Structure 1
Amino acid sequence: MKSQSSTLLAEVRTFRQNHPEVRYVDLIALDIPGHFYGKRYPVEMLEKVAAGSPLKLPQNAVLLGAQGGLFKIGDYCFHDGDPDANRRLVPGTLKPVSWEAQPLGQMLITSDGTDAPIEFEPREVLAKVLERLQHKGIHPVVAFELEFYLFDKKLDDGLPQFARDPLNDDADDQPNLHIERLSRFSEVLDDMAQTAQAQGIDITVITAELGPGQFEINFGHCDDGLRAADWAALFCRSTRGVALKHGYRASFMAKPYLQFPGSGMHVHVSLYDGAGNNLLAAHQQQPLRHAVAGCLELLPHCMPIFSPNHNAFRRLGGTVNAATRASWGFEDRDACVRIPESDPRNLRIEHRLASADANPYLVLAAILAGLEHGLEARQEPIAPLNEDRNSGADFPLEMLDAVRAMQHQAVLRDKLGAEFIDVYCENKRQDHLAFQQEINAREYRWFL
């Protein structure tokens, strides 16, 4: 603890020396729906926290719904006195914020690694999965890919408008992978990339995707699963901020347009032993097949994580590369679990089902739980799509069905924690019911 305090203190003091204009630092963490919550600290108080002063925030901040409201979940929120819970600073995440009007810093905080971690905090859920794998001699290497849309900053009667082409002030209509779109939107995209790199995020490839104003950012492969998920979470925050600065609105919403492809979160995962050998490639890739089987078995029970809201279920089916059944295949983008072509050293799975607005900590935790289960059960997977285009297992396509499938699944309750599963399912159930408590114009057109 003393060593960590001295490291954190050095980090804060170095930051203050390099950024004397910064007076406040946002201390932030991701809640269950995938939104950042936290507090804005004077930088001199941050130095005290780094030196060992307590950092406490309400425990129930993690439980907020998609719109920030509190739901009654067991004894939480309304029968527990709304207690504080300890948080800690995440080393290496104190960075300047360049997209706000005033100079600011930001730093991740978490309950994992404290004396009493919050069992349902997303980062803690992932931390426990990674710790268990480490004890088994399994070391994941992870890379996220995130798709997002750029919109005009102003909404039209509440509806998004296409991003305007900076050269001719027309709607962006460039086709998929068109390099000209990257050039035409280079000012905002370059700023997004530079800002992400300033946050310590290793971003690599930028792609113009199929939808108008849709792009994809790839991250480097990382041997620290928590850091890889941190990168994905922080990138969403910085990208939205940079877009607003340039007169756009960036969104990771899963399905903003019915007629265009949705935005996904693709996660590449390889597994290594302590000597650096790829575990999936051993014994003629038999462990790879077992891992795939485990992923596919748990996938139908993880849908509230992969599709965390009503809109995310709209993304499934009806457009390119968005499956409606649990499937796998070699070099097949129609599969939920794709095996990219690679040499044995880099053999990996690419999990393609999650929506871009899913919680990256929970998505990775669910994927790793599936891989772990598969390696333990040693079952053969169903046929890959390369052999049978009809291969696949059904999964829920509506939130309440998905919650029912998730809540009592024994393997998930063991791998992710029973308390987390119960809290998460009730949070999603209540969010879904709250979403239904509004009559929209279509209902009046159909039924009035």
Structure 2
Amino acid sequence: MKSPSATLLAEVRTFRQNHPDVRYVDLIALDIAGHFYGKRYPVDMLEKVAAGSPLKLPQNAVLLGAQGGLFKIGDYCFNDGDPDANRRLIPGTLKPVSWESQPLGQMLITSDGTEAPIEFEPREVLANVLERLRLKGIHPVVAFELEFYLFDKKLNNGLPQFPRDPLSDDADDQPTLHIDRLSRFGDVLDDMAQTATAQGIDITVITAEIGPGQFEINFGHCDDGLRAADWAALFCRSTRGVALKHGYRASFMAKPYLQFPGSGMHVHVSLYDGAGNNLLAAHQQQPLRHAVAGCLALLPHCMPIFAPNHNALRRLGGTVNAATRASWGFEDRDACVRIPESDPRNLRIEHRLASADANPYLVLAAILAGLEHGLEARQDPIAPLNEDRSSGTDLPVEMLDAVRAMQHQQVVRDKLGAEFVDVYCENKRQDHLAFQQEIHAREYRWFL
């Protein structure tokens, strides 16, 4: 068996042979806010890293706020000397970038698996949850679904404009589920699909969603939770780039229009033992009920992960298929936790609460933590919506309330890591306060 460095070196050399015109590779990782940060490396230097040379980036790059600034979080950022932290290359993620004007490559990097991983790095948080489940003999299979909107490339006084229908050149301003929209926007959607496939992402179904210019992409079911989250993160990056190339903006913003549905991140999760048996289907599906109860119990305490910003909180309720309470149901898209109809082998939950702009590593980590908690506590859930349409537990819908609910919940701290929870909650608190430091034009209209 090849060593990790030998495997990486072979990957880099094969890439260089297949793409001799590429001189630089972006080494990228997802920060807490769900944005990529990293460095652009000459490809010959990448060979040295693959062979074992150190790869270091500032530890605090992970802590960037929604607008890229640094906040004082404990001793981080301003009282710690801004230290570097080791990263490693993630095998299998070195791919060409086709949406830039010049030949370029990109590759994911992470601190997980290094000698001193960053406790609050999103991928490290998920890696810890997955490893804990593995030691318990629990093996998740995961599939993400992502909704997004297309807009015209040009903004109108800072506001989004509907995308232009390429056949009529009229604005695509009508909510519709019609499959004809897939044909009208076929060129850009096909390029998005092909580009994602070239990035190693297993995409399956493409759907025209209800909102004007809104679409959904489904990913294949994956037995590697880290890879499944990698796919979701990389798809967002490539889709934005491809859209710009075609004269559009692609956005995973949670609620771009008040009058139309928001964009969600739906996550399908099933759990198997080492022999491949579906754990949720055992004992007349009693573990499924326990897992649902655990998810619902932690939902109100993980809202800063599922709805990570002011706009994401706007998505909850008010339109179809967006829950305002922690609820569940069989084949019910109004529920936060939906149980799709399936055979026992494929029995799973569909977690529907997260917004499309949430951090996929943290979303999956929080979902798995809820499932794990439920299997441990062995409690029955509240009534499903199929039996009681008013069933559900209230969710915090203000960011500061949500942060308090998360920071002081001991199960969340135990499952996701106390250091991560404290850092993440302070990051969200500071982001919220920074967002408030601007007087909106409406305030002048109302109060001047």
Query: What TM-score range do you get, normalising by the shorter chain?
Result: over 0.9
Q: How does 1:97-136 map to 2 (within 5 A)?
A: 97-136=97-136
1:267–1:364 CA contact under 8 A, matched in 2: yes
1:27–1:107 CA contact under 8 A, matched in 2: yes
Counterparts of 1:338 and 1:138 in 2: how far apart (Å)?
21
Counterparts of 1:174 and 1:434 in 2: how far apart (Å)?
35
SS in 2 for 1:403: helix
1:304–1:402 CA contact under 8 A, matched in 2: yes
Counterparts of 1:236 and 1:21 in 2: how far apart (Å)?
25
Q: How does 1:24-423 map to 2 (within 5 A)?
A: 24-423=24-423
Counterparts of 1:397 and 1:438 in 2: how far apart (Å)?
21
2:316–2:323 CA contact under 8 A, matched in 1: yes
Q: CA deviation at 1:176?
A: 2.9
Deviation string for 1:87-116 (max 9, x for gaps)? 000000000000000000000000000000
Q: CA deviation at 1:359?
A: 0.1
Deviation string for 1:389-415 (max 9, x for gaps)? 000001100100000000010000000
Q: CA deviation at 1:177?
A: 2.3
2:162–2:173 CA contact under 8 A, matched in 1: no
Deviation string for 1:359-418 (max 9, x for gaps)? 000000000000000000000000000000000001100100000000010000000000
Deviation string for 1:40-61 (max 9, x for gaps)? 0000000000000000000000
1:151–1:163 CA contact under 8 A, matched in 2: yes
SS in 2 for 1:62: helix
Q: How many residues align?
A: 448
Counterparts of 1:214 and 1:274 in 2: how far apart (Å)?
39
Counterparts of 1:206 and 1:196 in 2: how far apart (Å)?
12
1:150–1:248 CA contact under 8 A, matched in 2: yes
Q: CA deviation at 1:174?
A: 5.0
Counterparts of 2:314 and 2:365 in 1: how far apart (Å)?
23
Report percent identity of matched pairs. Answer: 92
Deviation string for 1:165-223 (max 9, x for gaps)? 00111111454320110000000000000000000000000000000000000000000
Counterparts of 2:270 and 2:174 in 1: how far apart (Å)?
34
Deviation string for 1:202-261 (max 9, x for gaps)? 000000000000000000000000000000000000000000000000000000000100
Deviation string for 1:261-315 (max 9, x for gaps)? 0000000000000000000000000000000000000000000000000000000
Deviation string for 1:1-32 (max 9, x for gaps)? 97000000000000000000000000000000
Counterparts of 1:404 and 1:419 in 2: how far apart (Å)?
15
Counterparts of 1:67 and 1:441 in 2: how far apart (Å)?
21
SS in 2 for 1:2: coil
Counterparts of 1:396 and 1:174 in 2: how far apart (Å)?
32
Counterparts of 1:334 and 1:150 in 2: how far apart (Å)?
24
Counterparts of 2:436 and 2:212 in 1: how far apart (Å)?
29
Counterparts of 2:164 and 2:432 in 1: how far apart (Å)?
33
SS in 1 for 2:372: helix
SS in 2 for 1:329: strand
Counterparts of 1:171 and 1:399 in 2: how far apart (Å)?
34
Deviation string for 1:75-98 (max 9, x for gaps)? 000000000000000000000000
2:111–2:121 CA contact under 8 A, matched in 1: yes
Structure 1: give runs of 5+ residues left out of the alignment.
none
SS in 2 for 1:81: coil
1:174–1:180 CA contact under 8 A, matched in 2: no
Counterparts of 2:172 and 2:161 in 1: how far apart (Å)?
10
Structure 2: give runs of 5+ residues left out of the alignment.
none
Counterparts of 1:347 and 1:171 in 2: how far apart (Å)?
41
SS in 2 for 1:140: strand
1:18 corresponds to which residue?
Answer: 18
1:174–1:181 CA contact under 8 A, matched in 2: no
Counterparts of 2:284 and 2:126 in 1: how far apart (Å)?
30
TM-score (norm 1): 0.99
